[in-house]
Chains A and B, each alone.
Chain A
């Protein structure tokens, strides 16, 4: 059974804290993604990675960075958390896009910044 696992379901952090959201996949997928989901806005891509140590900005990268040191792990970093980063964060992985396969999603991390 394919699996994308996010380290936390719920997280509460203080403004200004450095926050790490971790995601691990066991499918040997090249691509990994971080999205945030907000009511009325759907899923918006923050960053994605198509290989180890490779990354590309998505639509809303400001205030975030990522790290991919190993193929199976993709971390999202909030350098200095702010209240407007309170959201649901979803990690996904997939084979290369040219293969027309779907992306698999984790269960999500609901982050609250107070």
Chain B
């Protein structure tokens, strides 16, 4: 069975600090996809990034960067120079191809609070 662990329940930082959100996953499949979603207070989940298991290149998008390491089964998310608008719940998710590749397994989420 697959599993996603986000050990950090809540993180509080002061604006302009860098912050890393951890995600550790478990699966026996060799082909899988990883995702990060943001859930602002409005409630709707917003897609941030996807990565497949064969692509270990790190990615940077503005203040956001992602570090994918298969050796440690981790897909961590870093926000550089955090802003108040980054305050949200962030979810990491895993999709495997077994069974049609339809099921997304989510972690329990990390609540990020960015204060002035």
Question: Residues of A with Cβ closer than 8 Å to B?
Answer: 31, 33, 35, 40-45, 48, 50, 56, 58, 88, 90, 92, 94, 96-98, 100-108, 110
Question: Residues of B with Cβ closer than 8 Å to A?
Answer: 6, 9, 33, 35, 37, 42-45, 47, 50, 52, 91, 95, 97, 99-109
Closest A residue to B1 using CB positions: A59
Q: Are B44 and A41 in touch, CB under 8 angstroms?
A: no
Chosen A-B contacts, 5 in total, with CB atoms closer than 8 Å, are A44-B106, A56-B102, A88-B43, A103-B104, A107-B44
The distance in angstroms between the C-alpha atoms of A107 and B52, with both chains bound, is: 27
> Taking the nearest CB of chain A, how far is it from the CB of B36, in angstroms?
10
**Residues of B close to A48: CB separation below 8 A:** 102-103
Q: Are B100 and A50 in touch, CB under 8 angstroms?
A: yes
Q: Are A102 and B35 in touch, CB under 8 angstroms?
A: yes
> Taking the nearest CB of chain B, how far is it from the CB of A39, in angstroms?
9
Q: Are B44 and A42 in touch, CB under 8 angstroms?
A: no
Q: Given A42-B107, A48-B102, A97-B103, 12 more contacts at CB 8 Å?
A: A31-B102, A42-B106, A43-B109, A45-B103, A90-B45, A92-B45, A97-B102, A98-B97, A100-B33, A100-B50, A101-B50, A110-B43
The distance in angstroms between the C-alpha atoms of A110 and B44, with both chains bound, is: 12
Interface centre among B33, B43, B52, B100 (most CB of A within 10 A): B43
